[in-house]
C-alpha cells in the first residue's frame, strides 16, 4: 500500500523550528558523522526524509529524534545548510506535541505568546491561591515557620505531593501514547513481555547517568546537562522528603542544606551557562533558540534567584519578606513544573530514557524476527 505524500507537513514543522529541512539533498554526511547513527536507527537523514515527504505516521513512530543529543556535528558537516541537528530538535518538539493528548503542548509550541500568557496566568493564580489560603486560615505574615506560619511546611508538603501526582499522571499518559505510536500499534513487531522486563534497567540507567549523551565527541554539553540533572534530582529529593528540615530556621541545618547549596550552585551555574550560550549562539546546540527555550530558561533562573533570596531573607530573620519572596518563588516554580513537565521542554526527562528503552526493545525484537525468518527455512530442509 502506497503512503500518501503530504507536502504540507514541512510548513507545519516550521513553527517548531525546522526551517531549513527542505535544503537537504540526502548526501548522508550527517548520518555518517553522527556517533549514534547505526542500524536500525539511521539519523538524521531518515527522519529528515520523512519530514520532507510529510510521512506523518512514520515520523510519529520514530524514536530517532530522542536518540540524538544535538552535538551539532551534523549541522556543521551539512553542505546544504539544512541544519539536521536543529531539525531533530524541532522533531522532538513536534513529537512532544503529538504525545500530549490535551493539545496544550501544540498550542505552546505554535505560539510563544500563548505559552507566555498561560505561564503568567498560572503564576497569578498560584499567588492568589496561596495568599487567599494563608489569609483565610489566619496565617501570620511575620512568621515563616512554627505554629503561626504564613505557609506551614506540612501543608506545602501536601501540595507538593498533589502536584507531583497530577504531573506524573499527565506524563504517564503521554508516555503511554509514545509507546503506542512507536511500539504498540506496530502489528508486525512482536515484543514479548519478558523483553520489556529484560531491558527495564535501561530506564534508571539513562535517567541518572545520561550515559548516551557522554558518547558524543563534544563532552561539555553532556557535563553541563549532567550537572543540571543531578542538581535537580537533589533538589527534588530535598523538597519531596525533607521539606520540614529545609523549612525550619533561621539556623541552618547542615544535614540537608549542604546538599541544597550544592544543588543551587549546580542549577544556577548551568542555567547561566545555557543562557549565555544561547545569547552568544556559542555552539550549534545553542545557535537556534525557540521561544519555548527562552521561556523555560527564564523560569529556571527566576525560580533559582527567588529561591535563594527567600532562603537568605528567612535566615537573616526577615520573615515577612521571606514569605512574600516565597510566594513569588512559587509563582515561578508552579508554572514551571505544572506546564513544562507535561506539555513542553521538560517532558524530555521522561521521553529520552523511554526512547532508549523502547529502541533497545525494538532493535532486539527486530533481530529476533530476522533470525526466525531464517531458521524455519533451515528447518524445512528435508532430513536425509
Q: Is 145 helix (H, G, I), strand (E, B) or coil?
A: coil
49 counts as binding other proteins under rule CB under 8 A: yes
- Told to check if 211 binds other proteins by CB under 8 A, we report no
Name all contacts of 158-162 with Cβ < 8 Å and 24+ positions apart: 160/239, 160/240, 160/243, 161/240
Q: Pick one of 26, 211, 348, 368: the residue that binds other proteins (CB under 8 A).
A: 26
Of residues 87, 27, 24, the one with CA closest to residue 59? 87
Q: If binding is defined by CB under 8 A, does position 52 make contact with other proteins?
A: yes
Cα–Cα distance list, 107 to 93, 94, 100, 114, 261 (Å): 12, 11, 11, 7, 36
Which CB, 54 or 332, lies closer to other proteins?
54
Supply angle C-alpha 363, 28, 369, rounded to 5: 20
Q: Could you tell me the smallest distance in angstroms from the CB atom of residue 54 to other proteins?
A: 8
Stretch that binds other proteins, among 5-13, 30-38, 216-224, 308-316 (CB under 8 A): 5-13
Question: Which of residues 29, 36, 53, 203 is near other proteins by CB under 8 A?
Answer: 53
29 part of the interface to other proteins, by CB under 8 A: no
Q: CA nearest 225: which of 69, 34, 43, 16?
A: 69
Residues 269, 270, 272, 276: is their CA dihedral positive or negative? positive
* 258 scored as a contact of other proteins (CB under 8 A): no
Of 30, 34, 46, 206, the residue at the interface with other proteins (CB under 8 A) is 46
Cβ of residue 197: shortest distance to other proteins, in angstroms? 33
From the list 44-52, 70-78, 96-104, 184-192, the region that binds other proteins by CB under 8 A is 44-52
CB-CB contact of 151 with 244 (8 Å): no
Closest CB 190 distance from other proteins, rounded Å: 22
Please check whether residue 138 is in contact with residue 128, taking contact to mean a CB–CB distance below 8 angstroms.
Answer: no
CB of 274 to other proteins, least distance (A): 31
Site residues (CB under 8 A) for other proteins, limited to 64-123: 80
d(CA 312, CA 101) in angstroms, rounded, equals 41
The rounded distance, in Å, linking the Cα atoms of 205 and 353 is: 8
Q: Please report whether residue 143 would count as binding other proteins according to CB under 8 A.
A: no
Q: What is the DSSP letter of 38?
A: B
SS (H, E, C) 326-368: HHHHHHHHHHHHHHHHHHCHHHHHHHHHHHHHHHHHHHHHHHH
Point out which span in 8-16, 149-157, 220-228, 329-337 binds other proteins (CB under 8 A).
8-16
**Nearest distance, CB of residue 182 and other proteins, angstroms:** 18
* 383 near other proteins, judged by CB under 8 A: no
Among 13, 24, 68, 134, binds other proteins (CB under 8 A): 24
- Nearest Cα to Cα of residue 345 among 60, 90, 164, 72: 90
C-beta of 10: minimal distance to other proteins in Å?
6
Report d(CA 274, CA 207) in Å as an integer. 20
Nearer to other proteins, 49 or 110 (CB): 49
Of the two residues 7 and 147, which places its CB atom closer to other proteins in the complex? 7
Q: Phi-psi region for residue 4, left (φ > 0), alpha (ψ -120 to 50) or beta? A: beta
175 binds other proteins (CB under 8 A): no
Among residues 16, 41, 50, 326, the one that binds other proteins under rule CB under 8 A: 50
Interacting residues toward other proteins by CB under 8 A: 1-5, 7-8, 10-11, 22-26, 46, 49-50, 52-53, 55, 58, 80
Amino acid at each position: 500500500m502506497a503512503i500518501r505524500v503530504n507536502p504540507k507537513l514541512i510548513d507545519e514543522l516550521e513553527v517548531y523550528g525546522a526551517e531549513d529541512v527542505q535544503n537537504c539533498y540526502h548526501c548522508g554526511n550527517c548520518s555518517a558523522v553522527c556517533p549514534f547513527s547505526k542500524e536500525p536507527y539511521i539519523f538524521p537523514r531518515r527522519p529528515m526524509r520523512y519530514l520532507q515527504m510529510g510521512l506523518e505516521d512514520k515520523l510519529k513512530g520514530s524514536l530517532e529524534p530522542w536518540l540524538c543529543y544535538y552535538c551539532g556535528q551534523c549541522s556543521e558537516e551539512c553542505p546544504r545548510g539544512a541544519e539536521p541537528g536543529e531539525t531533530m530538535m524541532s522533531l522532538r518538539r513536534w513529537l512532544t506535541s503529538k504525545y500530549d493528548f490535551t493539545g496544550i503542548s501544540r498550542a505552546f509550541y505554535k505560539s510563544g505568546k500563548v505559552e507566555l500568557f498561560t505561564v503568567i496566568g498560572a503564576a497569578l493564580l498560584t499567588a492568589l491561591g496561596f495568599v487567599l489560603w494563608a489569609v483565610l486560615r489566619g496565617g501570620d505574615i511575620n512568621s515563616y515557620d512554627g505554629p503561626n506560619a504564613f505557609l506551614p511546611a506540612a501543608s506545602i508538603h501536601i501540595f507538593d505531593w498533589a502536584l507531583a501526582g497530577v504531573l506524573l499522571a499527565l506524563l504517564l499518559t503521554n508516555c503511554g501514547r509514545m509507546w503506542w505510536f512507536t511500539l504498540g500499534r506496530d502489528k508486525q513487531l512482536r515484543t514479548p513481555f519478558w523483553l520489556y522486563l529484560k531491558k527495564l534497567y535501561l530506564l534508571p540507567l539513562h535517567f541518572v547517568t545520561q550515559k548516551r549523551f557522554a558518547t558524543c565527541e563534544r563532552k561539555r554539553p553532556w557535563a553541563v546537562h549532567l550537572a543540571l540533572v543531578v542538581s535537580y534530582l537533589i533538589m527534588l529529593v530535598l523538597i519531596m522528603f525533607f521539606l520540614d528540615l529545609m523549612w525550619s530556621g533561621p539556623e541552618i541545618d547542615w544535614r540537608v542544606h549542604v546538599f541544597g547549596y550544592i544543588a543551587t550552585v549546580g542549577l544556577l551555574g548551568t542555567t547561566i551557562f545555557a543562557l549565555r550560550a544561547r545569547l552568544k549562539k556559542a555552539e550549534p546546540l545553542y545557535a537556534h533558540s525557540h521561544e519555548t527555550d527562552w521561556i523555560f530558561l527564564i523560569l529556571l533562573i527566576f525560580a533559582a534567584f527567588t529561591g535563594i533570596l527567600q532562603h537568605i531573607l528567612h535566615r537573616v530573620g526577615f520573615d515577612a519578606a521571606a514569605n512574600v519572596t516565597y510566594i513569588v518563588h512559587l509563582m515561578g516554580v508552579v508554572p514551571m513544573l505544572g506546564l513544562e513537565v507535561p506539555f513542553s521542554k521538560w517532558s524530555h526527562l521522561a521521553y529520552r530514557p523511554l526512547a532508549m528503552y523502547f529502541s533497545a526493545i525494538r532493535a532486539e525484537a527486530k533481530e529476533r524476527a530476522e533470525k526466525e525468518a531464517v531458521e524455519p527455512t533451515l528447518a524445512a530442509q528435508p532430513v536425509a
